[in-house]
Structure 1
Amino acid sequence: MEPYCNLEVDVNGEETFMVDKTIIAQYSGKFAKLFGKSSEARGKLKVIFNDFPGGAEGFELMLRFCYNNGTTNITPSNLLLTHCAAEFMEMKESVAGVFNLLEQTEKTLQEMNFWTWSGLLIALKQCQNLSSPTDSLVLEKCLDTLVGRLVLASEASPCPSTCSTDSSGIRFSCDSKSTESIKTNSSRTPWWFEDLLFLSPLLVEMLVKSMLSRKLDHVVISKFLLYYQKAKFSTVTTDEKCKIIEMILDMHYNLDHGSISCKNLFGILRVTLSLNISKCSRNKLENMIGSHLDQATLDNLLVPSPYGIRYLYDVNLVLRILKAFLHGRTGLVTPIRMRKVAGLIDLYIAEIAPDPSLKTSKFLALATALPDSARDSYDELYHAVDMYLEVHAQLSQEDRMKLCCGLNYEKLSPQACVHLSQNTKFPPKSAVQALISQSSKLNNVLRPTPSTTPYNNWPCSSGKGDKTSEQDVLYDDGNFDISDDNEKLRTHLQGMQCRVMELEKICKKMQSQMRKITKSNVSGQMVKNKDFGCTVIK
């Protein structure tokens, strides 16, 4: 007897089905509630579904079960749609000893561990086609099974994607690809990277989270994410590129510090320059780069400035990365790493110093970003300041003195001190301080007891109570007792002698002027020093 088609069902506007409502209501709790206990309503009825999962294909799978007396063939290719349709139609009640459709799909889910690799991929593709796959039990089970296979394979030995499935379920099958298998084995890229490129960023994120929970090697996860990004970028839109990069950064932020190299992080940074990614993702990227800064090179840091900023290079970016290095997530920074970064930053400062648009505040911020202990020598920084002053000749004396605040004269070499003392681009006070510092170091070398002569007692004093003046001790060649290791200091000392004597006279005259000003009780009086062109304000 032919079934009586008394029910018209419109599924998402895709297709209309004519069915027997009595047969459908026998298996579907949703239709049973809709028609009530009495299903003897006369005439045709029409039901419209606007959000049926899987659309017309899913509804047809459900109909086959109903019209086949509660049996159907569930495969990896239709499991998801069948399961979603059974949930939507509330097919939870057994009829005449027959398992309901939902029970049958859940039984198939339990057998997923025995599926082939290709079967898992087919099921994943079905999950991805749904509008909201994150709520699917099938998706979670499929991802968990897939990651379990990868963990087992990594613990045993890498297996090419052409392996056939054996009874243990550890080896996989992905259609015959003999030539691709040879190529995969010859490279170090894991065989499964290519197989998972069809996944959306959302599913990749879920996959990686499952990998993390199953303790898969973080280095392998990082390589997969970078492989995915490079492979997808050639075919997707700008908006999709942003989603991919943000997902990759979010996932990498949860990985171990050493799972990704500094080179790859700067590679991601270069990619993001043309993308409008979120501020949160950009901060994560800069923090990760900061934790690897001691591994960076000068070329890595030479990032062009964003549009609208006149600087040649993005100085603000480097300052943020430096801050991340000093206060990053890797904990205490060791002295070795600190010195490496200091050397790198000195090279960077020397590179940007000739930029005529670079503000003094930015230059000084870079020069003083690291603690003094990070540098054993300030020679490189001094030369960078020298280049900056050469290009920015219009700077005021006040700005020049600010730049000199970034220098530690105690850590300048004798050569640098001699150069500074003759460098007219630097304020006279800087030259005096450099020579005082240098002479103090020389004095410590030449005398058994180190001298701690303060600025006010610089050798221009008469040396009251002493038979031999400080100057005689420092500069009398006949009194030198210098070993071979200090011959260079002897040579530089002789070259500096004339300049030091001249500066001593200047100091003496300046001190005399200061004493006269101190005796004056006129508040705010300004005394013009005609000899040296300076103004002293009380």
Structure 2
Amino acid sequence: MAVCCDLEADINGEETFLVNKKIICSYSGRLSKLLGKSTGANRNKVIFHDFPGGAENFELMARFCYNNGEIDVNPSNISLLYSAAEFMEMNDSVSGNCNLLEKTKKCVEEIGYWTWSDLLVALKHCQDFQQVATSSGILEKCLDSIVGRLAITSEASPCASTSSPDSSGFRLSCDTRSTESFKNSFSRANWWFEDLSVLSPDLIEMLVKAMVSRKYNHAIIGRFLFYYQKSKFFTVSSDEKCKVLEVVIDMLYTLDPSSVPFKSLFGILRVVLGLNISKSGRNKLESMIGSQMDQATLDTLLIPSPNGTSYLYDVNLVLRFIKAFLHGGGWRSSPTRMKKVASLMDLYIAEVAPDPLLRSSKFLALVVSLPDSARDCWDELYHAMDVYLEVHAGLSEEEKLKICCALNYEKLSSDACIHLSRNTNFPSKPAVQALVSQQLKLKNLLQGTKNTKPDTDSPRKVSETRGKAKKGEGSEQIVLHSGKLDVSADNENLREHLQGMQWRVIELEKLCKKMQNQMAKLMKSKVSTHSTARSLPRLCS
């Protein structure tokens, strides 16, 4: 006998179904109440604008009704049936037949006993109907079950592929022997990477958050996120790549920085440079890279400048890295990290200095990006400045002086000071300052040497030695310039004056070395003999 189709159901404007009113109403409390209240022609037609899962799910629900409440509830349809049962209020059947809502709830409660393959199937269907799966709570339960199993087998991996539910699915129960057998069937920590890389970025975000809340190994999570990013980029569009990157960066940002490899972060950065991701994502990535700046190399920092800019390398990006490094504060407890970054920046500045299009303000920003204490010696920076000033000979005197003012003359070696005094690329004032600084250092060194008492038993002889030094027996007098320097004086006279000072510095260096050698011999002689009859050696010949 043919079934009378006396009800027209319009589902979300997608499709219209002709169904038997009596059969459907016997299972759906909502439909029974809706049709009982309607009058006239509308009694034979219903319109749903928000039916969960759309026409496909309505058809699935109708089959349940037409089969006298018999249907196979499985991982591929449980989220749809559960949401349909709730929407249609199928919890109290008029005919006394099976309750669909109760049946799906019971299946959901048994998720913990599903095979791994069943969980994967359920997750894939959840992402196709994410809103339905989220509202029903099934998505959350699937993810919890997935993470729970990963937590148990965090150091394991399946021996065979888990893609096939028939061949390699496994069940997890509360039985201890079952759990041990489950754990012993794996050998690698990344066995699940390929299985879960098919999930959408939104589900990956939910998955990682659940793993972090369960205190899952951050290093393994990080490796999975890098794997996920690479695997997704083979199949998705440019817009989808941006979404993948933003989710991966956001999730990496929640992990322990020490568990995120610097090299992998830079790999993501090179991909990001070619895409238009959000500013927030860029900032987080740059912050993570900057916090590990001491692990960078010169090659990694030499990133070409963005399109539309004239200079060769992306100097602004490196400055942001340095800012993130200093903001992190980890270098305070480890001065070695700061020294590493300073050495790296010296190499970088020397590399970008010959760029004829690099503005002086950017070059100066690089020079002063680290605190003065980061460097024990400023020779490398001086040579980089020398190259920059030579290439940018057209800079104004004011611009040159700004750059030179950033130089710490007290941390220049004697050779660098001498080179600076002859260097025509530098303005006159810095050259004089370098020599004055060098003479101050020599004066302090000589005074320290003279204040040393090599032989307390012979004060007279020490006095004689100091007297000879005071008379100038070896050109040990120090020429110290104080007060304001008239840098506007005649250039030729100033050059002659600088040459004279340069000669004096050379002589003082020789004298200092000679005095140090003499003092060393004196101290050695004092240790070997206690005789006070010997005269003190001459310090100057």
Tell me which interval the TM-score lies in, with the shorter structure as reference length.
0.7 to 0.9
Matches within 5 A, 1:66-77: 66-77=65-76
- From 151, 166, 170, give the equivalent of 1:165: 170
Q: 1:416 to 1:19 in 2, by over 3 A?
A: same
Contact 1:165–1:171 under 8 Å retained in 2: no
Q: Tell me how far apart the structure 1 counterparts of residues 201 and 241 of structure 2 sit (CA, whole Å).
A: 10
Establish whether residue 118 from structure 1 lines up as the match of residue 117 from structure 2: yes
Give deviations 1:472-506, integer Å, cap 9, x for gaps.
48834xx9xxxxxxxxxxxxxxxxxxxx97xx7xx
Q: Which amino acid aligns with 2:55?
A: A
Contact 2:157–2:189 under 8 Å retained in 1: no
Contact 2:111–2:145 under 8 Å retained in 1: yes
Q: Which amino acid aligns with 1:311?
A: Y
SS at 2:153's partner residue?
Answer: helix
Q: 1:119 to 1:419 in 2, by over 3 A?
A: same
Q: Which residue of 1 aligns with 2:392?
A: 392
Matches within 5 A, 1:106-145: 106-130=105-129, 132=131, 133-145=133-145
Contact 2:115–2:172 under 8 Å retained in 1: no
* TM-score for the superposition, normalised by structure 2: 0.79
Q: Which amino acid aligns with 1:165?
A: F
SS at 2:370's partner residue?
Answer: coil
Structure 1 stretches of at least 4 aligned residues deviating more than 4 Å after TM superposition: 41-44, 94-99, 169-173, 329-333, 466-471, 507-511, 527-534
SS at 1:202's partner residue?
Answer: helix
Matches within 5 A, 1:164-203: 164-166=169-171, 168=173, 190-203=190-203
Q: Tell me how far apart the structure 2 counterparts of residues 43 and 316 of structure 1 sit (CA, whole Å).
A: 68
Q: 1:166 to 1:45 in 2, by over 3 A?
A: closer
Q: Which residue of 2 aligns with 1:309?
A: 309
Q: Which amino acid aligns with 2:357?
A: S
Q: Which residue of 1 aligns with 2:62?
A: 63
Q: Which residue of 2 aligns with 1:448?
A: 448
Identity within the alignment, %: 57
Q: Tell me how far apart the structure 1 counterparts of residues 388 and 41 of structure 2 sit (CA, whole Å).
A: 94
Contact 2:122–2:142 under 8 Å retained in 1: yes
Q: Tell me how far apart the structure 1 counterparts of residues 89 and 439 of structure 2 sit (CA, whole Å).
A: 92
Give 1:329 shift: 7.1
Can you give the 5+ residue segments of structure 1 that lack an aligned partner in the other structure? 174-180, 452-465, 480-499, 515-526
**What is the total number of aligned residue pairs between the two structures?**
468
Higher relative contact order (CA 8 A, sep 6+): 2
Q: Tell me how far apart the structure 2 counterparts of residues 58 and 327 of structure 1 sit (CA, whole Å).
A: 53
Q: Which amino acid aligns with 2:128?
A: N
Q: Which residue of 1 aligns with 2:509?
A: none
Q: Which residue of 2 aligns with 1:218?
A: 218
Q: Tell me how far apart the structure 2 counterparts of residues 374 and 14 of structure 1 sit (CA, whole Å).
A: 68
Matches within 5 A, 1:79-118: 79-95=78-94, 98=97, 100-118=99-117
Contact 2:331–2:338 under 8 Å retained in 1: no
Give 1:159 shift: 2.9
Q: Tell me how far apart the structure 2 counterparts of residues 47 and 6 of structure 1 sit (CA, whole Å).
A: 11
Contact 2:27–2:95 under 8 Å retained in 1: no
Contact 2:85–2:101 under 8 Å retained in 1: yes
Q: Tell me how far apart the structure 2 counterparts of residues 331 and 30 of structure 1 sit (CA, whole Å).
A: 65
Q: Which amino acid aligns with 2:409?
A: Y
Q: Which amino acid aligns with 1:309?
A: T
Matches within 5 A, 1:7-26: 7-26=7-26
SS at 2:45's partner residue?
Answer: strand
SS at 1:48's partner residue?
Answer: strand
Q: Tell me how far apart the structure 2 counterparts of residues 242 and 263 of structure 1 sit (CA, whole Å).
A: 20
Q: Tell me how far apart the structure 2 counterparts of residues 401 and 218 of structure 1 sit (CA, whole Å).
A: 50
Contact 2:35–2:43 under 8 Å retained in 1: no
Q: Tell me how far apart the structure 2 counterparts of residues 200 and 241 of structure 1 sit (CA, whole Å).
A: 11
Q: Tell me how far apart the structure 1 counterparts of residues 483 and 15 of structure 2 sit (CA, whole Å).
A: 103
Q: 1:372 to 1:216 in 2, by over 3 A?
A: same
Q: 1:213 to 1:352 in 2, by over 3 A?
A: same
Q: 1:3 to 1:329 in 2, by over 3 A?
A: farther
* TM-score for the superposition, normalised by structure 1: 0.79
SS at 2:224's partner residue?
Answer: helix
Contact 2:26–2:93 under 8 Å retained in 1: no
Q: 1:428 to 1:392 in 2, by over 3 A?
A: same
Q: 1:2 to 1:375 in 2, by over 3 A?
A: same
Give 1:16 shift: 3.5
Contact 1:30–1:89 under 8 Å retained in 2: yes
Give 1:317 shift: 0.8
Give 1:56 shift: 2.9
SS at 2:8's partner residue?
Answer: strand
Establish whether residue 238 from structure 1 lines up as the match of residue 243 from structure 2: no
Give deviations 1:311-358, integer Å, cap 9, x for gaps.
100111111111111012758453111111111111110000000011
Q: 1:38 to 1:229 in 2, by over 3 A?
A: closer
Matches within 5 A, 1:451-490: 472=472, 475-476=475-476
Q: Tell me how far apart the structure 2 counterparts of residues 86 and 195 of structure 1 sit (CA, whole Å).
A: 30
Q: Which amino acid aligns with 1:342?
A: A
Q: Tell me how far apart the structure 1 counterparts of residues 17 and 125 of structure 2 sit (CA, whole Å).
A: 23
Q: 1:329 to 1:115 in 2, by over 3 A?
A: farther
Q: Which residue of 2 aligns with 1:279?
A: 279
Q: 1:346 to 1:434 in 2, by over 3 A?
A: same
SS at 2:328's partner residue?
Answer: coil
Give 1:94 shift: 4.9
Q: Tell me how far apart the structure 1 counterparts of residues 432 and 417 of structure 2 sit (CA, whole Å).
A: 10
SS at 1:121's partner residue?
Answer: helix
Q: Tell me how far apart the structure 1 counterparts of residues 491 and 170 of structure 2 sit (CA, whole Å).
A: 96
Contact 1:153–1:159 under 8 Å retained in 2: no
Q: Which residue of 2 aligns with 1:326?
A: 326
SS at 1:255's partner residue?
Answer: coil
SS at 1:235's partner residue?
Answer: coil
Q: Which residue of 2 aligns with 1:148?
A: 148
Q: 1:118 to 1:89 in 2, by over 3 A?
A: same
Q: Tell me how far apart the structure 1 counterparts of residues 100 and 330 of structure 2 sit (CA, whole Å).
A: 53
Q: Which residue of 2 aligns with 1:524?
A: none
Greater shift, 411-420 or 61-70, is seen at: 61-70
SS at 2:316's partner residue?
Answer: helix
Give 1:213 shift: 1.3
Contact 1:70–1:99 under 8 Å retained in 2: yes
SS at 2:357's partner residue?
Answer: coil
SS at 1:27's partner residue?
Answer: coil
Give 1:65 shift: 2.5
Q: Which residue of 2 aligns with 1:370?
A: 370
Give 1:251 shift: 0.6
Q: Tell me how far apart the structure 1 counterparts of residues 425 and 378 of structure 2 sit (CA, whole Å).
A: 18
